[in-house]
Amino acid sequence: LAAKMARDMSDKEILKMELDQLKKEVSTPRTPVSKCNTVNFVEGLLPNDPLIKGVPDDKNPYKGDKGGCIIT
C-alpha cells in the first residue's frame, strides 16, 4: 500500500511528507539517558537476569539426560 501510494505521489508531495515527519521528530521532547533512570532499571534487573547469571541446572529444561534421538 505504501509503495502504491508513493508511486501515485509527486516528488514534491513525497518531500513535503518527509519534511512534515522530520518536523514532528525534531519537536519531540527528549530526555537525556543520564536522567531517565535506564541504567538504574537495568542494573536492578541484573541479579535475576538468566543471561548474566545463568540458569541453575535443576531449572534448565535443556540440561540433563532427558533421552535422545534415535535414527533407524
Report pLDDT for 65: 66
CB contact at 8 A, 45 and 37: no
CB atoms within 10 A of CB 9: 13
Report pLDDT for 24: 95
Alpha-carbon Rg for the chain, nearest whole angstrom, is 26
pLDDT of 13-63, one tens digit each? 999 999 999 999 999 998 887 777 877 888 888 888 888 888 888 888 777
Secondary structure of the chain in the HEC alphabet?
CHHHHHHHCCHHHHHHHHHHHHHHHHHCCCCCHHHCCHHHHHHHHHHHCHHHHCCCHHHCCCCCCCCCCCCC
Report pLDDT for 68: 67
